């Protein structure tokens, strides 16, 4: 909702918007608390164990320190970030292309070219993410 729409909204509409936002905040707080509990639980498991058996598929126990080494963790994080960026681009392209006005664009039109380029960029991001994941395996 734009600032102008807020300005023109009546009290009932503002109250409804506020209620929706309060519900969304409550959901986010619940998710945050669940994530926090999971992190505390995992910390307790890590404190009481050496690592993960079966991770290397050779009978060795993967020590917790080995699992959180910088390259492995950073590759996974970078792959995740690339996937999220690609998803954002893909969502934008698909939503825009789904709009009826885009169907009538000339293939030479700059907007059409930009959308095609964005889609290609999303595919390249996904390829990079896949390569990073494969390095981590």
* Cα 40 from Cα 65, distance rounded (Å): 17
Helices and strands per DSSP (H, E), number in the chain? 6, 2
**Same-domain pairing of 38 and 90:** no
**Same-domain pairing of 73 and 47:** no
pLDDT at 36 over 60: yes
Spatial CA neighbour of 125 closest among 92, 98, 71, 88: 88
Look up the pTM and report it.
Answer: 0.40
Residue 124: count of CB within 10 angstroms of its CB:
12
The per-residue pLDDT for range 59-109, each reduced to its tens digit, is: 888 888 777 665 666 777 788 888 888 888 887 777 766 654 455 555 566
Residue 58 falls inside a structural domain: no
Spatial CA neighbour of 118 closest among 78, 80, 89: 89
> Which residue range is the domain that position 19 belongs to?
1-52
pLDDT at 136 over 60: yes
Residue 62 falls inside a structural domain: no
Percent of the chain with pLDDT over 90: 5
* Cα 105 from Cα 117, distance rounded (Å): 15
pLDDT at 125 over 80: yes
């Amino acid at each position: 909702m734009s600032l102008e729409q807020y300005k023109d909204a009546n009290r009932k509409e503002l109250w409804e918007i506020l209620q929706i936002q309060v519900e969304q905040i409550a959901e986010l707080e619940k998710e945050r608390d669940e994530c926090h509990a999971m992190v505390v639980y995992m910390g307790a498991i890590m404190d009481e164990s050496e690592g993960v058996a079966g991770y290397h598929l050779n009978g060795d126990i993967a020590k917790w320190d080995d699992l959180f080494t910088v390259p492995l963790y950073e590759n996974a994080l970078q792959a995740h970030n690339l996937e999220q960026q690609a998803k954002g681009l893909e969502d934008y392209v698909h939503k825009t292309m789904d709009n009826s006005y885009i169907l009538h664009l000339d293939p030479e039109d700059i907007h059409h070219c930009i959308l095609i380029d964005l889609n290609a960029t999303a595919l390249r991001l996904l390829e990079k993410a896949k390569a990073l994941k494969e390095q981590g395996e």
